Structure 1
Amino acid sequence: MEWYSIQNIDMVDSPALLVYKEKMLANIQSALTRMHHQTERIRPHVKTNKTPEVCKAMMEAGITQFKCATIAEAEMLAQLNAPDILLAYQPVGPKIQRWVALQQQHSQCIFACLTDNIVTAKEIAAAHAKANISAQLYIDVNNGMNRTGAPVATVPELLLQLLQVNNLTVMGLHVYDGHIRKQSFEERKQESDAAFAPVAAMQRALQEQYQIPLPIVAGGSTTFAAHAQRKNVVCSPGTFIFWDAGYQQLMPEEPFQWAAVLITRVISIIDAQTITTDLGHKSVAAENPFPRVVFLNAPAARPVAQSEEHLVLKVADATAYTPGQVLYAIPIHICPTVALYNSLQVVENSAVTTSWKVIARDRSITI
């Protein structure tokens, strides 16, 4: 049997997303090894897994800090009593009240969120004051991603403004450099170093000026290895927990293993070189061009069309396939693929043994 083959696959309906528990646990240890087991220097991003059991496994490995993208993900972490939760997002509108309500309900946790402007920061601080709790914020710094964040040159002025706002504590700096995607580690590290240098210089100057600590939470999966080599930087990778075909192609040198595998079944034989499976848009992240998956037991199969419930493949010889045959596939992008599933099918010792509910795929849980 190949490592991914499941003995009781006939009991698992398709499409489904399998999580191989042993490989997932090995990925946690690989991430910790990279950090020399300094658990205070890693803050995994849970947007990839959105699942309590996965986060609990990280906590059992000694990880106490987490990052998330949605209030639902933050609530999932709070329900697990995760000690330190960073919402790597700037709440606006009704999200501010939801964010405050979450903190009121889970006072046992430390919460912080991001800001990149004084207007929103004041709104966040005021909402917290009404609830009689203190707002804790990280300054979101834009060092090249150009998605959110204050430009490096404007951060000193923003910090000065924030320090004058009542009921607000600046906890540190947040830097995400997901735009760095060069093919080789050496190129990625060189670009990451160049983008990070002005941030580090600014941090040193501001800490000396104000005599306050400004720890930096930095990076994602593509720059994890680079930031791990810096002293006093907290790394926040997410995809490492399951890994995917996209990052494996980009970063084959990384130690992480595929721990999440899609299963799909052949549903039709169209002609001598065309088959159709049940892996539609609703079953795998569709934001990338073809291919959106890499097939483990049909590596030459080539996706040519996809709709909501169907994926059409070109193959060398369709007679090699039969209706009902199971294909195993690695998604190019695992994070939004997980969000398409209500539950993950857990594999141990080559068999599906249980399922884990992906509770944070919803935009809200109770709040």
Structure 2
Amino acid sequence: MITNLDPYKIKSVSDIDSPALLVFPKVVEENIDIALKMISNSSKTFLRPHIKTVKCVEIAQMAIAKGIDRFKCSTISEAELLGIAKAKDVLLSYQLSNTKAKRFSRLRQKFPETQFSALVDNFESAHMLSELFKKDPLNVFIDLNVGMDRTGVKTEQAFELITQTDNLNGISIKGLHAYDGHVHASDFKIRKDQTNNILKDVANLKYKVEKYLNRKMIVVIGGSPSFPFYAKQEEVECSPGTFFLWDEGYGSSFSEMSFTPAALILTRVISIIDKTTLCFDLGTKATASDPPLPRVKILGLENGVVINQFEEHLIVNVPDTSLFHIGEPFLAIPVHVCPTVNLYEELVVIKNQVVFDYWPVKARNRKITV
């Protein structure tokens, strides 16, 4: 719950068309600081944030300026963005098709100072990558299915895959990757128990693999809901992403984390339908539509109830519409910020209560140059 609205004060929004996605860099910086403080003091535990939420160079560079030197991403475009930002180490946490692997090869050539790696969860993909990267071997992480049932090999089958792929000349197994998107219970104890079970399975596999390969394995693990638990472990790299901008969905579900929403949508009243119904210029093309209604929390409209949404319109029931006027501006916190950012070409940067800059959301495009 937001109790302090001071970070969101803006002197004038008259020149900002709506809907627009506003970003508050000071809040972003505070969120990065909080994430870093949550990490174990161990020199072997790291923050490897996922860039999928922000998709922009400037925020990646803010993280790099704080000493974060490794990142995770989901697309070639996001990987290229991190190359542009001069990230040192980038894991593309996605299973590569042959076509995408060729793009990935070109990306490595374009940004030789960035160490890129990718995921595999089967021998066929591993063999394909090995053939493609024979002249310049690619580091790979074995993608584990720890319960989400999306991609990844089951932990009990992963060792066999490693023994099959270890002799492939074009790839080198660097570590294990475990994403736990199914761990999102609001109950703190339930999440803690789930992550403990995952950690136990991954740790057992890691020990077995390290003994077999006779070298250390890196473990990249978790997302935002499980971050508080993995952050206190030894020898892991935690990969939350939403923390940069935070949102109403995670904020209301995971109150133990003190991150603050840093990206809000500017919206306006465009029609007063009747005595209790307002229409805003905030449709499904301006905010993520994957969560159920209300999809946004409109600040200053705590008594309002979102009753419908269309492509360009949001319908809200309020006690008395006579208290509102056409064109009245409001700020709305997205329930799901990651796909919301993907809907905007740029972020309107608010600093010292005025428009300071515009940051392109470069990686919303499927291709930047590669």
- Calculate the TM-score normalised by the size of structure 1: 0.97
Matches within 5 A, 1:180-329: 180-329=183-332
Alignment correspondent of 2:147: 144
8 A Cα contact 2:44 2:236, kept in partner = no
Give 5+ residue unaligned stretches, structure 2.
none
Matches within 5 A, 1:158-169: 158-169=161-172
8 A Cα contact 2:45 2:234, kept in partner = no
2:65 pairs, out of 52, 56, 60, with 60
2:365 equivalent to 1:362: yes
Deviations 1:51-104 (A, max 9, x none): 000000000000000000000000011112111010010111311111111011
8 A Cα contact 2:178 2:222, kept in partner = yes
Q: Cα offset for 1:140?
A: 0.2
Q: Cα offset for 1:249?
A: 0.9
Q: Cα offset for 1:40?
A: 5.9
For residues 214 and 17 of structure 1, the distance between their equivalents in structure 2, rounded to whole angstroms, comes to 40
Identity of counterpart residues, as a percentage?
38
Alignment correspondent of 1:353: 356
2:182 pairs, out of 179, 183, 187, with 179
Alignment correspondent of 1:48: 53
Deviations 1:202-246 (A, max 9, x none): 111221232121110000000000101110011001000000000
8 A Cα contact 1:40 1:63, kept in partner = no
2:39 equivalent to 1:30: no
Match of 2:95, SS state, is coil
Q: Cα offset for 1:196?
A: 2.1
8 A Cα contact 2:21 2:266, kept in partner = yes
Distance 1:40-1:64 versus aligned 2 partners, 3 A rule: farther
Alignment correspondent of 1:73: 78
Q: Cα offset for 1:300?
A: 1.9
For residues 21 and 182 of structure 1, the distance between their equivalents in structure 2, rounded to whole angstroms, comes to 29
Alignment correspondent of 1:101: 106
Return 177-186 or 95-104, whichever deviates more.
Answer: 177-186
For residues 10 and 365 of structure 1, the distance between their equivalents in structure 2, rounded to whole angstroms, comes to 32
Alignment correspondent of 2:160: 157
2:133 equivalent to 1:134: no
Q: Which amino acid aligns with 2:92?
A: L
For residues 213 and 294 of structure 1, the distance between their equivalents in structure 2, rounded to whole angstroms, comes to 46
Match of 1:9, SS state, is coil
Match of 2:157, SS state, is helix
For residues 2 and 40 of structure 1, the distance between their equivalents in structure 2, rounded to whole angstroms, comes to 34
Q: Cα offset for 1:39?
A: 8.9
For residues 2 and 192 of structure 1, the distance between their equivalents in structure 2, rounded to whole angstroms, comes to 34
Q: Which amino acid aligns with 2:66?
A: A
Q: Which amino acid aligns with 1:285?
A: A
Distance 1:170-1:216 versus aligned 2 partners, 3 A rule: same
Q: Cα offset for 1:332?
A: 0.4
Q: Cα offset for 1:185?
A: 2.0
8 A Cα contact 1:143 1:196, kept in partner = no
2:127 pairs, out of 103, 122, 129, with 122
8 A Cα contact 1:40 1:65, kept in partner = no
For residues 2 and 30 of structure 1, the distance between their equivalents in structure 2, rounded to whole angstroms, comes to 19
For residues 189 and 242 of structure 1, the distance between their equivalents in structure 2, rounded to whole angstroms, comes to 24
Return 50-59 or 319-328, whichever deviates more.
Answer: 319-328
Match of 2:192, SS state, is helix
Aligned length: 365
Coordinate RMSD, CA, aligned: 1.3
Return 37-46 or 354-363, whichever deviates more.
Answer: 37-46
For residues 233 and 25 of structure 1, the distance between their equivalents in structure 2, rounded to whole angstroms, comes to 23
8 A Cα contact 1:39 1:64, kept in partner = no
Deviations 1:83-126 (A, max 9, x none): 10100101113111111110111111101000100101111121
For residues 26 and 357 of structure 1, the distance between their equivalents in structure 2, rounded to whole angstroms, comes to 21
User: Which contiguous aligned blocks of 4+ residues in structure 1 show a shift greater than 4 angstroms?
Assistant: 36-40
For residues 11 and 178 of structure 1, the distance between their equivalents in structure 2, rounded to whole angstroms, comes to 40
For residues 277 and 184 of structure 2, the distance between their equivalents in structure 1, rounded to whole angstroms, comes to 34
Match of 1:230, SS state, is coil
For residues 70 and 64 of structure 1, the distance between their equivalents in structure 2, rounded to whole angstroms, comes to 19
Match of 2:285, SS state, is helix
